[in-house]
Amino acid sequence: MSKILVGFSRVNINPMRGIGVAGYYKVRHAEGILDDLEAVALALSDGEKKAVVIAMDLCQVQTPVCDRLRRAVAEATGLDASAVYLHSTHTHTAPYVDVERAKAGGLDTEEDLRLVAEYQDFLCHRIVDVTKAALEDLAPARIGTGVSVARNVAFIRRFRMKDGSVRTNPGVNNPDIVAPIGEIDDRVSVVRFDREGAPTIVLASFANHPDVVGGNLLSGDWPAMTRRTVEKALDNTRCIFLNGAQGDINHVNVRPTGGFGNDLTRDFDDVDRGYGHARYMARVVAGAVMQIFDKVEYREADTLRFAEKVIEMPSNRPAPEEMAEAHRINDIHTAGHDELLPYEGMMLTTVVADAARKVRLEHGPDAFPLRLSAVAVGDVAFIGIPGEPFNGVGRALKEAEGYGMVIPSCLVNGSEGYFPMRDAYEEGGYEAKSSNYRVGGAERIIDEGLSLLAELK
């Protein structure tokens, strides 16, 4: 048994009915709950230092809100704020947590904004609660790692079209699709913590967009279902899930065969969605976890380290000549008249997001501070990016020297948009059009992330 202590806890974070739902460029309000939203905490200690990794069934938690939550945890528990690793799984059927982001999403009534503010207060209390409980649950643990594969549930979502353009989510069976742009990373990373006198804990990580359920009913989507499926299959086991570098990956198979279309229905943006398909994805990912669970490689782990680094990222500011058209499109969209724009489906979303980015950055800033976060236990490291990196970022970070396993996580300690790879800016598509960051940002994250991991060895 190593010197490492590990604890686990979870709490319910369901919001009130009627709160605004994040995730789309359209206004939605929560009409009910399909399955509970939760925050799950993994506490780590080497007997001297302590840290906590928390996964929340939320779409995104903005940096100022993460800062508030981390300060609250630090004040309540004595943890260093930099030892608090807050991850959003990115389910698109979860509430807003930030009033300013809710306003930007079209919520403008006093009741809308009051509910979001109250929910943020509630969330702060719950994150403190789950951290305290996980720290109280600390027990000596042996650590094992393994990698499996979840096939046929993750797909590149950017495609080259016959006219030479690049489109995100061009639609199932679109005859104009030529080929996807990119390569899937379908590996499932697993960390197993066998504890003395306490349930085993499984941490699983896989990269894919949790935008499968859709609609106005709240759900943790396939990440939450994966946790529950693992726990049902493995006796006396608890599970936490971290989403990976999923910025250019989702669940949409544009060339389905056989029964792949079961439980899927075409949605407003030409994306096929369905609760049953989310359940299917969870079973596939959970199956990958179970394939490696009994065959993990146990590792020596005596030390816990954590650190963060703030880097400056140049802004993707628009040219002055682009602004008249950007304001026209943005004004039409914010007035609720998308029908006046000559676009449909994901093309409409892309045009609206591009205009919103230009308006948002018209007057600056010229650069943004971006915080990378890392926690390492033995030769297993978690590295968090405060946004949605393309899977090329995750692939590169997994290769960090000196580690037995590196688990990159999206939306950690902030939510600052997309980080596309360099080629995507020339190719086009929703992610690059909406990104706050100039070309080269993803590659900068790789370099700085590898540097941060090297400092923690």
User: Residues of the chain with pLDDT > 90: what percent?
Assistant: 95
Is the confidence at residue 2, as pLDDT, over 80? no
pLDDT per residue as tens digits for the range 66-122? 999 999 999 999 999 999 999 999 999 999 999 999 999 999 999 999 999 999 999
- Tell me the per-residue pLDDT of 48-62, one tens digit each, with 9 for 90 and over: 999 999 999 999 999
Chain-centre distance for alpha carbon 202: 19
The pLDDT of residue 223: 98
Model confidence band, residue 219 (pLDDT cutoffs 50, 70, 90) = very high
Q: Is the pLDDT reported for residue 180 higher than 80? A: yes
Q: With 90 as the cut, is the pLDDT of residue 1 above it? A: no
